[in-house]
Amino acid sequence: MAIPSITMIPSGYKAEKVYSALPTNGDGDLTFNRDSSATRVNKSGLIESISTDVPRLDYSDGGCPSLLLEPASTNLVSYSQDFSQSDWDKLLGGAGSAPIVTSNYATSPDGTLNASRVVFNLDGGTTISDFSRIRQYATATTPTLSCYVKSNTTESYDLNLSYSGDSINVVTVTPNQWTRVEYQATASGNFEFRLELRGSYTVNDTADILIWGAQLEEQPFATSYIPTTGSAVTRSQDTASKTGLSFYINSSEGVLYLETKGFVNELASSRYISLEKNGESGFGNSLHIQHRNDGNLRIYVNGDATSNVHFIEDIDFTENHKIAVLYKLNGYKLFIDGVAKSLNGTPVQTVFSGLDTLSFSFRNSNIGWEAGVKDLRVYNTTLSDAELTTLTTI
């Protein structure tokens, strides 16, 4: 198999730069930007803070890391780690008692003694009106709730993670392991992040749990943890791209290869990875891999009309995929996870002129790729079907 001209396997980085394995002279190093600090899961499995403009190599899935590329997001919960700051009570008229909250009781997923203990008690209650709850207020539109929980006993518990005015989501809290539970709500307004024990949803009269990292975001999925200590905090968007690559990108033929796993299947808006010419605009003279907001994968070539869509594939972006796009005049191919895909109708199979930019976005815009990226390569020659199959087989 041919050697790629550009290879980005997440392994090395410094502020404002993601190192490429090839070329070895540094020409392929990506320029990275994020205008705030952010968190990642490190190799030891702990959540840690990463400084402004420093890329995040994230080990959430274990094994090899992924370059984490996330959208901007705000944690609207004011005290994400201190649950003594939240309102906590029982339902008025219910038989249960208010939860007992103890701050800084146990070691949290960031490795420090800042997780809270919460003991819920129904006092023998058995009806829906018998519940105790811990609440943190925030305003959001169709938000996603998340927090880290763990049983403080040898038992597992069923609790309700909810947003007031919305439906109930039952989450299971297990012993011996921190679990991040998530819930995408449909309500909007000035409501509350709630974690509840209700008589009608559990056989347990009490629940003794550990909790940490409450987060409420106006996103269709939970992003990496954003710590807060008294007010909402915003994490900026991750971006990565590189210009000046004309020597390494063949405009006449080649292969763009990607291994990636998204955070959600259907995005709020479509996202892109591109080969393009710096300084130009629109879809012309460019190759775009699109994660479409309907959950489809699309490949655009030199335009955004139907005739420019070379491939449309329905894949689950929440799973890890290996994707290779071969471009050549009247010879376009797409392989996903070892399988060749068919062209979408009879697209206009043109090629390019003067490609010199690799970008995790559309024309270096703010609509960047949203996913973890384990591998990215550019080949400046075509590969055989057998090689494309081998390259993309999971």
Q: What is the pLDDT of residue 185?
A: 84
Q: What are the backbone angles phi and psi of residue 387, rounded to the nearest 5°?
A: -70, -40
pLDDT-derived band at 201, boundaries 50, 70, 90: low
**Cα–Cα distance, 274 to 257 (Å, whole number):** 11
Query: Would you say residue 89 has pLDDT above 70?
Result: no
Determine the pLDDT at residue 202. Answer: 62
Q: Please report the pLDDT score of residue 191 as a whole number.
A: 67
Q: Where are the domains of the chain?
A: 6-70+239-392, 83-235
Note the pLDDT tens digit of each residue in 104-119. Answer: 999 999 999 999 999 9
Architecture of domain 6-70+239-392 in CATH?
Sandwich (2.60)
% of the chain at pLDDT higher than 70: 95
What does the pLDDT average to over 18-36? 96
SS (H, E, C) the chain: CCCCCEEECCCCEECCEECCCECCCCCCCEEEECCCCEEEECCCCCEEEECCCCCCEECCCCCCCEEEECCCEEECCCECCCHHHCEEEECCCCCCEEEEEEEEEEECCCCCEEEEEEEEECCCCCCCCCEEEEEEEEEEECCEEEEEEEECCCCCEEEEEEECCCCEEEEEECECCCEEEEEECCCEEEEEEEEEEEHHHCCCCEEEEEEEEEEEECCCCCCCCCCCECCCEEECCCEEEECCCCCCCCCCEEEEEEEEEECCCCCCCCEEEEEECCCCCCCCCEEEEEECCCCEEEEEECCCCHHHEEEEEECCCCCCEEEEEEEECCCCEEEECCEEECCCCCCCCCCCCCCCEEECCCCCCCCCCCEEEEEEEEECCCCCHHHHHHHHCC
Reading the block at residue 14, the tokens are: 């410094």
Inform me whether the pLDDT recorded for 94 exceeds 80. Answer: no
Over residues 216-259, the pLDDT tens digits come to: 898 888 999 999 998 999 999 999 999 999 999 999 999 999 99
pLDDT at 62 (0 to 100): 83
AA identity, residue 121: N
The tokens describing 76, both together, are: 């609207």
Give residue 145's identity as a one-letter amino acid code: L
- Which fold is adopted by the domain 83-235? Jelly Rolls (2.60.120)
- pLDDT score recorded for residue 363: 82
Separation CA 6–CA 185 (nearest Å): 42
Question: pLDDT digit string (tens) for 154-171?
Answer: 999 888 888 776 777 888
Same fold, 6-70+239-392 and 83-235: yes
Q: Is the pLDDT of residue 125 over 80?
A: no
Whole-structure pTM value: 0.92
* Residue among 239, 211, 238 at smallest CA distance from 223: 238
